[in-house]
Amino acid sequence: MSEPSETPDVPPEVEDSEQQADDAQEAAEPQPDEVEGPRRRARRERAERREAQARAEAIEQARREAKRRLRTRSTEPASRVPRGAIRGLKMALITVLTLVSAVGLGLILYFTPLMSVRAVEVEGIAEVTRDEVVAVAAVQLGTPLLQVDTSAVADRVSEIRRVASVRVQRQYPSTLRIAVVERIAVAVKDFPDGPHLFDRDGVDFATAPPPPGLPYFDVDDPGPTDPASRAALRVLTALAPEVAGQVSRIAAPSVSSITLTLTDGRIVVWGNTDRTAEKAQKLAALLTQPGHIYDVSSPDLPTVR
């Protein structure tokens, strides 16, 4: 039995050389154009196989490149803006908008009569009249509240002699409030033009009839800068109310020789202003005893004569 013959694989180099030989022979043997011989068909089929193989390799290479690019994109982290940067931008934007709004509102209130002075309220007055305060304040109705210099208004009102202190406030939308604290008379001294009233600081703030029971101020040069005046008034304001109500005169020829005269004629020898609070306490108890002269100049040894 004969075995079937197998066609051995031909190496590409041999195949190419055979093809070249076939080409040369066919070129030597002329054939009609419409007739395809076995050699030409074999050559065409080999060319088609090489072209198909090259196209398949190109497609496979393109597919591999596409897969590689896809894997590279999936592994690269997406670029994202940090949350802190976004939060910072939001806060900066909010701050800018707030400042712009505040500035705009301030300009509107400052330059327009939207919130202007339509009323002036005066509080705390008794002897001073409202008309006097308003006239000295010199605030024109219709002036925007933000344009009112409250410190300057307070300084002008403080020039009134009876005024001890002033507080000026804006009350939106349209009111200016002036709170006045008047001076209170604690002593009186006669002058050629009439009785002058003095407050606890020694300020001569009014020329008018004194209230009933006001003690007479017996000093040579009364005033807030006079040492004797300050010493006498310090003693007078340290007394208990029930004792101060009995004083008809306080004399201070010097800061170390202060004396009080009570309404019933009794005399209190005070001395200087050392230990004033202790002396006032001792005097309140001492006045319960009968006598004419009460000496508390030495509070350790108070005496009654």
pLDDT digits (tens, 9 = 90+) for 174-227: 999 999 999 999 999 999 999 999 999 999 999 999 999 999 999 999 999 999
Instruction: Tell which wins on pLDDT, 262 or 74.
Output: 262
Question: What's the distance, Cα to Cα, between the start and end of the chain in Å?
Answer: 174
Give the amino acid at 192.
P
pLDDT band at 40 (very low <50, low <70, confident <90, very high): confident
The tens digit of pLDDT for each residue in 48-99 reads 888 888 888 888 888 888 888 877 765 555 456 577 777 777 788 788 878 7
pTM for this prediction: 0.63
**pLDDT recorded at residue 35:** 59
Q: Is 247 exposed, middle or buried (0-12, 13-18, 19+ CB in 10 A)?
A: buried
4 pLDDT more than 50: no
The tens digit of pLDDT for each residue in 5-36 reads 444 444 444 445 555 555 555 554 444 445 56
pLDDT band at 135 (very low <50, low <70, confident <90, very high): very high
Instruction: Tell which wins on pLDDT, 148 or 52.
Output: 148
CA distance 147 to 113: 10
Q: Is 64 exposed, middle or buried (0-12, 13-18, 19+ CB in 10 A)?
A: exposed
